[in-house]
C-alpha cells in the first residue's frame, strides 16, 4: 500500500500518495487525521471585544497568567471571569493594532505601538515611564527587547533594550546597559522578533538580523543573516518550535535555527499559499506551535478576507502538510487547570455530553497545554474537541497511453471513521478536466467500484475521528481482470 504523503497541491499530480485537496485533515507522524474541533473550556466567558493579542505567561513561582487584549483594554482570566487589568486611561489601539505580550521575571509586559509599554506584576497594568512605544516585545537573557519603536521620534527600524535585570529602566546608560539603535543595512521596518537561545532575532519583511550580547558599551552587536530576501511578513507570523523559528515570509515559509533560513514549503504548498492568501493583509498571518502534536498552524486571510479565516498545518518531523480552516481573532497555547471527577458536572451533566472532548486531549490534564484560539465571537476555545468531519482528494492515477479499469480502493486506518464514502472521477485525456463517476460506501473494509478511463482520482469523505495512513487502488488494464 502507498503511504499518505500529505497535502501537496504544488507537487506533480501523479506523485504516489499525495493529496491534491483536503479539508479539516491534518498530518500526524504516521499519516493524516481529522482535525480537532474547537471546544470552550469550562468557566471561560466571552471577551468583551475582539481579541487582538493573547498569551499565557509564567511567573518565577510557576504560577500562570492568561492575558488578552482588545483595542482599548487589557484583561486577565481569573476565577472564571475576564478581569479588566488595564491602566486608568483607555488604550489607543486602531484597526491594525495588535498586542505583543512577554514575561520578564514576575513582570508581565505588553506593547501595542500606540501606547508606551505596559507593566504588571499581578495587579493592573501601568505605563513604564522611561520606556518607548514598541510594536514587538520579547525577553532575551537579562533584557527585554523592544523593536519598531517610538521614543519621541518614529524609529520603525529601531530597537531598544531595558537595563540589565531591570525592566522598569529604559533610559540609555552605560552603567545600566539600557541602550538603543537602528538596523538600517536593509530597507523597511522591523516586522517581527523573538529570542533564539542567547540571541535576539529581528526580522524585516525581506531580511533577518541576529543580535548577540557583547556587554558595554555596545551591549548588543547585530549582524545581517545570509539568506537572500528571507524575512517575516508580520509580528505574529512567527513561532518558536524549540531551537528554531518557523515564520512566513514574503515569498516562502521558512525555518531558521540561527545559521541560515531554510524554505519548507517548496514543492508542497508554497504556490498554493501565495495564490490563496490575501497579499494586502498577509501581515495579519498568525502562527502557533502545538508542541504536543509537533504541529505548526498557519492562520491567514484568504483572498476574500481581511482577517485570518483559513489555515494550513505543518508537521515538523513528518514534514507533511494539511488543511483545517478556522476563522480566528488570536491564537495561543492555553494552559488548562485540569479536570477532577467532582468538576465533571461543570462541563456536562451526562457522560454523553463529554464526547466533544477527545479522551487523549491535554484538556484533561492539570497544566496541560493545548493550542487554542479566540473565535470571531471573542470566545477562547481550545483545539481539543473531537473531529466531526473531514475529506481528502487523491492525486491522479493512470496512463496517457493506456485505458485502465478501477475496481476497488482500500484505505488503511489507524483509527477508522464513523462513516466513510467515496466519489471517484475520470478523465480520458490529460488536461481536459475530470468528470464525476462512481460513488460508493465501505464494504468489507474497501470501496468496490467499476469505472474505466485513462486517468482516475477519488475524494473520500469521513465523519467522526479518523486516522488514515495508506491507500491502495485496484487498477487493471481495460479488458483484463
Instruction: Report the CATH number that the domain containing residue 73 is assigned in CATH.
Output: 2.130.10.10
Specify the higher pLDDT residue, 354 or 104.
104
* Residue where a domain stops, chosen among 385, 414, 443: 385
* Residue where a domain stops, chosen among 362, 385, 408: 385
Whole-number pLDDT of residue 467: 97
Residue 16 covered by a domain:
yes
pLDDT, tens digit, for every residue of 264-301?
999 999 999 999 999 999 999 999 999 999 999 999 99
What radius of gyration, in Å, describes the C-alpha atoms of the chain? 25
278 and 416 part of one domain: no
pLDDT, tens digit, for every residue of 180-217?
999 999 999 999 999 999 999 999 999 999 999 999 99
Count of domains for the chain: 2
Tell me what percent of the residues of the chain surpass a pLDDT of 90.
83
Task: Give the Cα separation of 424 and 220 in Å (integer).
Answer: 60
* Residue where a domain stops, chosen among 350, 385, 420: 385
Whole-number pLDDT of residue 416: 95
> What are the b/e assignments for 226-259, b being 16+ CB within 10 Å?
ebeebbbbbbbbbbebeebbbbbbbebbbbbeee
Would you place residue 359 in the very low, low, confident or very high pLDDT band (cuts 50, 70, 90)? very low
pLDDT, tens digit, for every residue of 308-322?
999 999 999 999 999
User: Strand 419-427 relative to strand 435-443: parallel, antiparallel, unpaired?
Assistant: antiparallel
Whole-number pLDDT of residue 480: 52
Q: What is the mean pLDDT of residues 119-146?
A: 97
The domain in which residue 298 lies consists of 37-385
Whole-number pLDDT of residue 228: 85
* Closest alpha carbon to 288 in 231, 254, 239: 239
74 and 129 part of one domain: yes
Residue 137 covered by a domain:
yes
Q: What is the mean pLDDT of residues 368-381?
A: 90
Q: What is the mean pLDDT of residues 146-171?
A: 98
Three cell numbers at 33?
487525521
Residue 272 covered by a domain:
yes
| 475 pLDDT above the threshold of 50 | yes
| 403 exposure class (CB count in 10 Å sphere: 0-12, 13-18, 19+) | middle
Tell me what percent of the residues of the chain surpass a pLDDT of 70.
92
Would you place residue 336 in the very low, low, confident or very high pLDDT band (cuts 50, 70, 90)? low
Whole-number pLDDT of residue 413: 96
Answer for the pair 313, 286: CB distance below 8 angstroms, yes or no: no
Residues in the chain: 481
Would you place residue 339 in the very low, low, confident or very high pLDDT band (cuts 50, 70, 90)? very low
Whole-number pLDDT of residue 369: 67
Answer for the pair 226, 260: CB distance below 8 angstroms, yes or no: yes
288 and 236 part of one domain: yes
CA angle 451, 469, 40 (to 5 degrees): 110
| 114 pLDDT above the threshold of 60 | yes
Residue 136 covered by a domain:
yes
261 and 408 part of one domain: no
Q: What is the mean pLDDT of residues 356-364?
A: 48
297 and 355 part of one domain: yes
366 and 408 part of one domain: no
Distances in Å between the alpha carbon of 192 and those of 1, 110, 246, 412?
44, 15, 12, 42
Residue 27 covered by a domain:
no
Q: What is the side-by-side strand order in the sheet with 118-120?
A: 100-104, 107-111, 118-120, 126-127
312 and 178 part of one domain: yes
pLDDT, tens digit, for every residue of 55-91?
999 999 999 999 999 999 999 999 899 999 999 999 9
Would you place residue 354 in the very low, low, confident or very high pLDDT band (cuts 50, 70, 90)? very low
pLDDT, tens digit, for every residue of 219-269?
999 999 998 899 999 999 999 999 999 999 999 999 999 999 999 999 999
80 and 199 part of one domain: yes
380 and 413 part of one domain: no
Task: Give the Cα separation of 246 and 348 in Å (integer).
Answer: 38
Residue 453 covered by a domain:
yes
Three cell numbers at 435?
468528470
Whole-number pLDDT of residue 335: 63
Whole-number pLDDT of residue 388: 96
292 and 329 part of one domain: yes
- What CATH number corresponds to the domain at position 444? 2.60.120
| 132 pLDDT above the threshold of 50 | yes
Whole-number pLDDT of residue 141: 96
User: Mean of the per-residue pLDDT values for the chain?
Assistant: 92
Q: Is 89 helix (H, G, I), strand (E, B) or coil?
A: coil
Residue 148 covered by a domain:
yes
270 and 395 part of one domain: no
| 129 pLDDT above the threshold of 60 | yes
Distances in Å between the alpha carbon of 260 and those of 160, 201, 202, 225?
24, 12, 14, 7
Residue 472 covered by a domain:
yes
Q: Structure pTM?
A: 0.91
Whole-number pLDDT of residue 357: 46
Answer for the pair 69, 76: CB distance below 8 angstroms, yes or no: no
113 and 162 part of one domain: yes
Whole-number pLDDT of residue 370: 82
| 364 pLDDT above the threshold of 50 | no
Amino acid at each position: 500500500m502507498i503511504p499518505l504523503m500529505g497535502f501537496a497541491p504544488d507537487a506533480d499530480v501523479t506523485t504516489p500518495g499525495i493529496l491534491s485537496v483536503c479539508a479539516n485533515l491534518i498530518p500526524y507522524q504516521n499519516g493524516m487525521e481529522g482535525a480537532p474541533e474547537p471546544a470552550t473550556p469550562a468557566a471561560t466567558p466571552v471577551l468583551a471585544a475582539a481579541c487582538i493579542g493573547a498569551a499565557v505567561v509564567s511567573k518565577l513561582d510557576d504560577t500562570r497568567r492568561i492575558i488578552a487584549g482588545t483595542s482599548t483594554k487589557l484583561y486577565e482570566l481569573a476565577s472564571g471571569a475576564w478581569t479588566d487589568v488595564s491602566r486608568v486611561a483607555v488604550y489607543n489601539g486602531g484597526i491594525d493594532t495588535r498586542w505583543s505580550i512577554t514575561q520578564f521575571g514576575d513582570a508581565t509586559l505588553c506593547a501595542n505601538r500606540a501606547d508606551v509599554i505596559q507593566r504588571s506584576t499581578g495587579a493592573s497594568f501601568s505605563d513604564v515611564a522611561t520606556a518607548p512605544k514598541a510594536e514587538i516585545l520579547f525577553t532575551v537573557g537579562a533584557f527585554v527587547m523592544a523593536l519598531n519603536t517610538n521614543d519621541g521620534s518614529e524609529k520603525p527600524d529601531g530597537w531598544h533594550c531595558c537595563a540589565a535585570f531591570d525592566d522598569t529602566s529604559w533610559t540609555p546608560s552605560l552603567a545600566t546597559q539600557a541602550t538603543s539603535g537602528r538596523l538600517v543595512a536593509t530597507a523597511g521596518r522591523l516586522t517581527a522578533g523573538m529570542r533564539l537561545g542567547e540571541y535576539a532575532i529581528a526580522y524585516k519583511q525581506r531580511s533577518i538580523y541576529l543580535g548577540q550580547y557583547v556587554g558595554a558599551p555596545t551591549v548588543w552587536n547585530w549582524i545581517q543573516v545570509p539568506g537572500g530576501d528571507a524575512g517575516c511578513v508580520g509580528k505574529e507570523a512567527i513561532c518558536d518550535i524549540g531551537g528554531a523559528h518557523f515564520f512566513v515570509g514574503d515569498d516562502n515559509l521558512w525555518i531558521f535555527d540561527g545559521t541560515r533560513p531554510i524554505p519548507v514549503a517548496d514543492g508542497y504548498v508554497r504556490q498554493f499559499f501565495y495564490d490563496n492568501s490575501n497579499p494586502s493583509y498577509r501581515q495579519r498571518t498568525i502562527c502557533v506551535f502545538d508542541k504536543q502534536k509537533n504541529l505548526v498552524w498557519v492562520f491567514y486571510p484568504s483572498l476574500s478576507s481581511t482577517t485570518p479565516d483559513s489555515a494550513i498545518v505543518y508537521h515538523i518531523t513528518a514534514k507533511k502538510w494539511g488543511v483545517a480552516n478556522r476563522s480566528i481573532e488570536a491564537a495561543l497555547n492555553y494552559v488548562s487547570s485540569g479536570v477532577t471527577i467532582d468538576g465533571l458536572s461543570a462541563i456536562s451533566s451526562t457522560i454523553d455530553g463529554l464526547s466533544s472532548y477527545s479522551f487523549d486531549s491535554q484538556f484533561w490534564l492539570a497544566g496541560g497545554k493545548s493550542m487554542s484560539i479566540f473565535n470571531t465571537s471573542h470566545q477562547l476555545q481550545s483545539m481539543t474537541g473531537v473531529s466531526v468531519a473531514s475529506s481528502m482528494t487523491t492525486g491522479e492515477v493512470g496512463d496517457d497511453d493506456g485505458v485502465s479499469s478501477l475496481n476497488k480502493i482500500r484505505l488503511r486506518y489507524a483509527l477508522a471513521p464513523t462513516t466513510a464514502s467515496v466519489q471517484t472521477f475520470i478523465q480520458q485525456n490529460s488536461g481536459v478536466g475530470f468528470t464525476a463517476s462512481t460513488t460508493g460506501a465501505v464494504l468489507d473494509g474497501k470501496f468496490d467500484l467499476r469505472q474505466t478511463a485513462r486517468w482516475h482520482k477519488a475524494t473520500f469523505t469521513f465523519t467522526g475521528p479518523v486516522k488514515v495512513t495508506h491507500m491502495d487502488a485496484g487498477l487493471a488494464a481495460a479488458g483484463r481482470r
